[in-house]
Amino acid sequence: MIWYLVTAAHAYTVSEHLRGDWGAALRKPMVVMPYELLTRMPVLPQGSYIFSDLERLDAMPRKVLGKLWNGLQANGCRMLNHPERSLRRLELLDALHADGSNRFRAFRADTPGEPWRYPVFLRQEKEHSGARSPLLHDLQSVREAMLQLVLAGHALADLLVVEMCDTSDPDGIYRKYSAFRIGDHIVPRHVLFSRKWMLKDMDLLEPTHRAETRDYCQNNPHETELRRLFTRAQIDYGRIDYALDRDGRIQVWEINTNPQIMRAPQAYPEGVRHFHQAFAERYLEAMRSIDSGGEESTDAGWPCLAQALVA
């Protein structure tokens, strides 16, 4: 069994895939378990455990879950993503800039002074909604954007100021690469193309882009470097989003520990549906490789969960 632990409000990322045709083969061996229901489980059986959505968890829940993770591992379960050791977004960006991997930096919005280089943009630290501001070119613009977000209900301490890193090619096209790590497997997901610097969805789909996506997914050209980056982040399951700078160096935007796996097949244009189906097959193969077996229900698993959570 594979137990996928997630915040209840964001369980759709995997549940949607399991409901669709491409995820049908995972419905029996995979259980989606919201963190909020963990205390209702009398025991946790043997199996493989994926701790996801870590960027949305505060320090105290991560500390409690860290004890649970350690206990399950000691009991022989296969564990992915330690709740305390895995680097979250700002920790990862700090580490990658410090070791020379990333050219750009990020700062919490309540950082004193003006340590960043313009242009910058604002985003939420714990969410995956992308930029929450346009590109900002001076301190007054940053202050005004922060004010608008605070008035809209965002806490200043939950916002990041991120330096812009221009990864467009000579034709002004941006690419966002994405790949999953699932245990020992690096599985390319897609390449998105756009003339917009903030790229959440593909808005360019010429034949050359389809060919480039096919080559990326088939050849996995960045596998070695991506494996190093996931290991640096101490993340065993998740999706890395990145681009290549003009020197061909990987620039990491984030690693999402609870990524959207797939939408229903009909949600994808027919001309590229085969790319997504191929990914679904590779995802299934990788998930099967981390399934350590175990009974679907047992009294011989981890002792009383309630005791574990308060130990």
Each residue of 218-247: pLDDT tens digit?
999 999 999 999 999 999 999 999 999 999
Calpha distance 255→247 (Å, rounded) = 22
What pLDDT sits at residue 293? Answer: 58
Where does residue 134 fall: left (phi above 0), alpha (psi -120 to 50 degrees), or beta otherwise? Answer: beta
Between 43 and 146, name the one with better pLDDT. Answer: 146
Fold of 174-290: D-amino Acid Aminotransferase; Chain A, domain 1 (3.30.470)
The average pLDDT across 20-47 equals 90
Q: Which of 51, 285, 49, 258 lies closest to 184, judged by CA?
A: 285
Q: Where are the beta strands (DSSP E) in the chain?
A: 2-6, 30-34, 48-51, 78-80, 106-108, 120-124, 159-163, 174-182, 185-194, 237-244, 250-256
DSSP state of 114: -
- The DSSP bridge pattern shows strands 237-244 and 185-194 to be unpaired
Instruction: Report domain extents, the chain.
Output: 2-86+292-310, 105-163, 174-290
pLDDT digits (tens, 9 = 90+) for 266-285: 888 787 788 899 999 999 99
CATH of domain 105-163: 3.30.1490
Residue where the block lists tokens 């309540």: 110
Between 5 and 127, name the one with better pLDDT. Answer: 5
Calpha distance 146→166 (Å, rounded) = 23
Half-sphere exposure of 276 (CA within 13 A, CB side): 20
Q: Quick one: pLDDT band at residue 299, thresholds 50, 70, 90?
A: very low
Determine the angle formed by the axes of helices 207-219 and 273-290, rounding to 10 degrees.
20
DSSP state of 236: S
DSSP letter for each residue of 195-230: SSSS-SS-----HHHHHHHHHHHHH-TTHHHHHHHH
- The pair of three-digit structure tokens given for residue 12, joined into one six-digit string: 């759709």
Calpha distance 195→203 (Å, rounded) = 8
Q: Quick one: pLDDT band at residue 209, thresholds 50, 70, 90?
A: confident
What pLDDT sits at residue 303? Answer: 43
pLDDT digits (tens, 9 = 90+) for 166-175: 999 999 999 9
